[in-house]
A and B are shown apart, each in its own frame.
Chain A
Amino acid sequence: MDWQLCWTVVITGLVVVFVVLICLTYIIKGYGAIINGIQTRHSKNNRPDVPAPEQKPAAADLVPSASPASDEGIPQEIAAVIAAAAVYCAGPDAVVTHISRAPRQTGSAWRTAGLLENTRPF
């Protein structure tokens, strides 16, 4: 065995693996910081100037006191989640008055899934 070659492989291998991966560490850290900076600035610029509310309403105040009317079979938890989503999207003044199921699709769910699977890319 050529021991000089052996130690060359060991030392070069360890050094190169560490150097390449350390370089990648810094590159990824660097571009991560740049992208995060740009995206933070971008989101700040896009946010409309809303005057600060005088008093932040308590979380409990945002939840409608009475549950919205809902079709039979829709659990109260689902109604609460839908109401919370509506309040999050439309603001604290939004009130959900009624929740109903969308009309059922014609044909079986498997058929629809198969159709979507085969036609979605086109």
Chain B
Amino acid sequence: MEILSSFWNAVVKIAQSSGFATNDWRNYIMVAIACVLFYLAIKKKFEPLLLLPIAFGMLLVNLYPPIMASPKGSEAGGLFYYLYLGVKLGIYPPLIFLGVGAMTDFGPLISNPKSFLLGAAAQLGIFITFVGAALLGFAPKECGSIAIIGGADGPTSIFVTSKLAPKLLGSVAIAAYSYMALVPIIQPPIMKALTTKKERMVQMEQLRPVSKLEKILFPIIVTILISLLLPDAAPLVGMLMLGNLMKESGVADRLSKTAQNELMNIITIFLGTTVGATATGTSFLSPSTIKIIVLGLFAFAFGTAGGVLLGKLMCHATGYKVNPLIGSAGVSAVPMAARVSQKVGQEENPGNFLLMHAMGPNVAGVIGSAVAAGVLLNILA
């Protein structure tokens, strides 16, 4: 009889400590949202490399919240708490930028430096969204975190949000990556609405070849200039340029390969899961998340419009030598946004190849959003 009683007590104890007894109803809604994200990542292939770990982090933290618990006294914290330190301390985003730099070819930008202007114009979305967030009642630091979604750059969004408004990290990261995946759906209607058929059919001259020396000097010059002008952007831009220098110099192939593959993949797993783990039911399911999702869409739309409008201006100023469609690629989201420019351009004129022309504003957008991040951090942090 005593054995039966202790067996019952053990069963009750297990039941009381199980997720069914301890979890809130909001956790189960988050589990459902994680499943939707799994569907988008696996079935629809929307940014699966990031959405999959984000969704799994979200799933795990809502089933077992102590995985994100901070240490108490002699008790150690949860696994994700320690992994999350890389986000909290601003370590992962610059390391992701190291890999991005090692994979990026700045050749199209160097051969057509005017692309920088399109990369700058596409940052318009960030600053218009800042005003929008302020109108919706967010605090200045939160406005900065939400606005940076318009940079269409995941690591930059995470970097800025982790410093300005860490509690919004889950919502901001999910909005940023979801919209980046939806670039082929969001951008074309805006591009078509703001341009005429004649403008979309403009064929651009072939880009000049860029020498190796120019490619090697580029990351060094950009690092010096931006680190001196905007020290807050130095971690992001510096690591981006270090990765690029390792690639272009040709003397550090092993390092470049590691940055592009192993390091990038490891950091992506840590970053994705821990960012997803910040989206707990209590923090994520709030009216502010819906506002962030809506503002994120505005940010992308205005960024695209800014780039296309400046492209239109350049098109007329140069006598139809610039196709305004390449302006939309200024919103970063490398290389998806450049592919969209190519696709929309080719729909009008099958003989038009805009991809390499669009890569210029695309990589300029990465630098532009890092500069905008530096400005936001400088003023708001």
Contacts and interface: CB of A to CB of B under 8 A. Distances in A.
Nearest to B118: A21
Residue among A8, A14, A20, A22 having the largest count of chain B Cβ atoms under 10 Å? A20
Contacts of A112: none
B376 A9 contact: yes
B293 interface: no
Contacts of B211: 35-36, 39
Interface string A76-116: 00000000000000000000000000000000000000000
B368 A21 contact: yes
B119 interface: yes
B117 A21 contact: yes
Contact of B376 (A13, A20, A28, A39): A13
Contact of B375 (A2, A5, A13, A36): A13
B237 to A, nearest CB: 10
Interface of B: 109-111, 113-114, 116-117, 119-120, 123-124, 126-128, 130-131, 134-135, 137-140, 143-144, 210-211, 213-214, 217-218, 221-222, 225-226, 229-230, 253-254, 364, 367-368, 371-372, 375-376, 379-380
Given A21-B120, A22-B117, A39-B213, 10 more contacts: A1-B138, A3-B134, A5-B140, A13-B123, A16-B371, A17-B368, A17-B371, A21-B364, A25-B116, A29-B113
Contacts of A22: 116-117, 120
Residue among A5, A8, A14, A31 having the largest count of chain B Cβ atoms under 10 Å? A14
A23 interface: yes
Question: Top 3 A-B pairs ranked by shortest CB distance?
Answer: A21-B116, A21-B120, A28-B113
Contacts of B226: 20
Contacts of B229: 16, 20, 23
A1 B134 contact: yes
Judged by DSSP, the binding face of A is helix
A122 B246 CA distance: 17
A74 interface: no
Contact of B379 (A8, A29, A36): A8
A12 interface: yes
B122 to A, nearest CB: 10
B140 A28 contact: no
Given A9-B380, A21-B119, A27-B221, A16 B113 contact: no
A18 to B, nearest CB: 5
A36 B364 CA distance: 22
Contact of B117 (A6, A10, A25): A25
B137 A28 contact: no
A69 interface: no
B375 A17 contact: yes
Contacts of B376: 9, 13
A14 B368 CA distance: 10
A8 B140 CA distance: 11
A13 B126 contact: yes
A13 B126 CA distance: 9
A41 to B, nearest CB: 13
A75 interface: no
A121 interface: yes
A5 B218 CA distance: 35
A63 interface: no
Residue among A12, A22, A28 having the largest count of chain B Cβ atoms under 10 Å? A28
Contacts of B372: 13, 17
Given A24-B367, A31-B217, A121 B254 contact: yes
Residue among B113, B221, B368 having the largest count of chain A Cβ atoms under 10 Å? B113
A10 B221 contact: no
Contacts of A21: 116-117, 119-120, 364, 367-368, 371
A20 B225 contact: yes
Residue among A12, A17, A35 having the largest count of chain B Cβ atoms under 10 Å? A17
B126 A32 contact: no
